[in-house]
Structure 1
Amino acid sequence: MGNLGILLVALVSLVALNQGLVHAHFYFDTVFTLGSQNSTIWDNGDNLALLLDKVSCSAIQTNKEFLFGSIEMQIKLVPGNSAGTVIAYYMPSTGSKHDEIDFEFLRNLSGQPYIIHTNIFTQGVGNREQQFYPWFNPTSDFHNYTIYWNPSQIVWFADGLPIRDFRNYERFGIPLASKQSMRGYSSLWNADDWATRGGLIKIDWKNAPFIARYHQLSLRTCTWTGPPDSISQRAQTTPAANWWASPLYGKLNDVQKVQLNWVRENFMIYDYCKDTKRFNGQFQPECKR
């Protein structure tokens, strides 16, 4: 399938995923957690900017916790030479055995592409990174990034295309991030100790301030309001009234599988399941599935 065909079916997939989408607002649905002096919201809560300078980073989080559904934002990444900066967009739970679903956007030198970095933590264990080059310019316009999860799978989308799918293999003893509620977070911060070529390239502060822009936060989630000790029981129930429990969303459809393979074959640059040197040949068990 050619690039145009891939992008056309991506629009169809995104429409299907967004049925019943709840448009949220940065004013009412998030709070600043770091660097409020480096953050601003405008246009009735539809637009947000986070800023990084030598004084402070900046970050937001959702007011509410969620258990299953999708969270999406349109983000315009930092332009120019912003090597060493990272925009994180992720869903974590709390505690030492936390679950977490990550997007991180690693900036490089001018003229070199951003890296879309993904990871998942289950019961406090991560080391499940996959990385991709974008097939678009993520700094010239807003692009849609979605984290979708239910008891069957977790999927990372970019502009409606699935770039990664982490399936439920609990029957094989592989935990899924499905038993702890999470909040949505995003931050712009200094990660020049590791983000660009393993920390070899440091931030050039002459280019500061660095600004990331956000548009139209959308939450289509199951808000969690129960006590923590009842999360595990609730997480394993899938009442028919919840859209995410529909068999339609239990696995990627045939079109999405084609899209996923297209992204992996053309734009994946790192896969933890193929890093024999790092793991000394001892891969995570899901790599065999």
Structure 2
Amino acid sequence: MVASKVLFVIALLFCSLINVVVIANDNFDQDVDITWGNGRAAILNHGKLLTLSLDQASGSGFQSKNEFLYGKFDVKIKLVPGNSAGTVTAYYLRSQGSTWDELDFEFLGNLSGEPYIVHTNVYTQGNGNREQQFYLWFDPTVKFHTYSILWNPGHVVFSVDGKPIREFKNMEPYGVPYPKSQSMRLYSSLWNADEWATRGGLVKTNWSEAPFTATFRNFKANACVWSNGVSSCNVTSSNSSNSSGDDQREWRSQELDSTSQKRLKWVQKKFMVYNYCTDTKRFPQGLPLECTVTTK
């Protein structure tokens, strides 16, 4: 009987370690906190669905309950339909402090019938100015699409429906800072940015169309949870029942294979509308170092 109790306690401890290594609950009640909006955000369908809304008084937002240091983060989003000009739906990772790290997806609203623009940015040690923007090759308001951020020691990859659209490599050996030591929490928000979001602020938000609503489902963080200065991935290499060991090893060392590199080039050739690494007018003293370094 004593031995059985000991085994039961060990099993509980093992499961608790497993659950902090990989978060894959697909349940917004368990995974996130609504942080602002005064009732404009809602978790529905027993945690399976989350909506953010924006009206003239306020937007809304949520954040993950956990902080992470490396991981792969996926969520399905159906963006604001119709005339969404001036609105921004953001989905990003961010650390705290004045020298923060940040990995951004921002979806810039539009006039009806015009393509959404996906705005991406990478901040390291409080410095950003690394914007790349893309048109989407589908209407993101009709059905859900998956938006992913892969963050591991080698690179950051932004993907849409499994297609990489942007890669930011770890080029620390060349003097380029990389987000590696600050834990980040996942955030999302829907807010009014009509001073800059649509055609540089020329098109303002039409509040007669409000409330604007974006819908989220299938949030998954296959990630290392950071708590009290310790990463869960240093505690155990075990994994939850929702993910195999191969899944975790894959994202922790994942690189872009030849097929993914071809897809990345295809997206950037066909759909990129702005790249800071080609904006010589913006950087008259020379392009940022990561734009000119040649890596293997």
Q: Same fold (TM over 0.5)?
A: yes
Report the RMSD for the aligned CA atoms in angstroms: 2.2
Q: Is the 8 A contact 2:100 2:123 kept in 1?
A: yes
- Choose the corresponding residue for 1:126, options 125, 128, 134: 128
Larger-Rg structure: 2
Quote the offset at 1:26 in angstroms. Answer: 0.8
The answer to which of 58-67 and 36-45 deviates more is: 36-45
Distance in 1, matches of 2:127 and 2:114, equals 31
Letter in 1 for 2:280: T
Q: Tell me how far 1:36 sits from its aligned partner.
A: 3.8
- Match of residue 262 from structure 1: 266
- Are 1:150 and 2:142 matched, yes or no? no
In 2, the alpha carbon distance for the partners of 1:96 and 1:152 equals 24
Q: Quick one: structure 1 residues 176 and 41, their matched pair in 2 at CA, closer, same or farther if it must change by over 3 Å?
A: same
Q: Is the 8 A contact 1:150 1:245 kept in 2?
A: no
137-146 or 30-39: bigger deviation: 30-39
Contact 2:86–2:192 (8 Å) recurs in 1: yes
Any idea what SS the aligned residue of 2:281 has? helix
2:139 aligned with 1:137, yes or no? yes
Task: Tell me how far apart the structure 2 counterparts of residues 210 and 131 of structure 1 sit (CA, whole Å).
Answer: 22
How far apart in 1 are the matches of 2:120 and 2:88? 13
Query: Residue 54 in 1 paired to residue 56 in 2?
Result: yes
Retained in 2: the 8 A contact 1:150–1:244? no
State the one-letter code of the partner of 1:268. Answer: M
Q: Partners of 2:143 and 2:196 in 1: how far apart?
A: 27
How much does 1:281 deviate? 5.1
Cross-structure match for 1:189: 191
The TM-score, its normalising length taken from structure 1, stands at 0.86
**Counterpart residue type for residue 181 of structure 1:** S
Aligned to 1:175: 177
Give the corresponding residue for 2:210: 208
| 1:69-88 equivalent positions in 2, closer than 5 A | 69-88=71-90
Displacement, 1:24?
2.8
For the pair 1:107 / 2:70, whether they are aligned, the reply is no
Partner of 2:276: 272
Secondary structure (helix, strand or coil) at the match of 1:273 reads: helix
Matched residue type, 2:141: T
Q: TM-score, normalised by structure 2?
A: 0.84
Among 40, 43, 47, the alignment partner of 2:42 is: 40
Matched residues, percent identical?
48
Superimposed CA distance per residue, residues 22-65 of structure 1 (whole angstroms, 9 cap, x where no aligned partner): 23311111011111410111112110110000121100000110
Once the two structures are superposed, the pairs formed by residues 11-30 of structure 1 within 5 Å of their partners are 22-30=24-32
Report the counterpart of residue 253 of structure 1 in structure 2.
Answer: 257
Q: 1:185 to 1:285 in 2, by over 3 A?
A: same
For structure 2, the 5+ residue unaligned runs are 1-21, 239-244
**For residues 245 and 151 of structure 1, what CA distance do their matches in structure 2 show?**
12
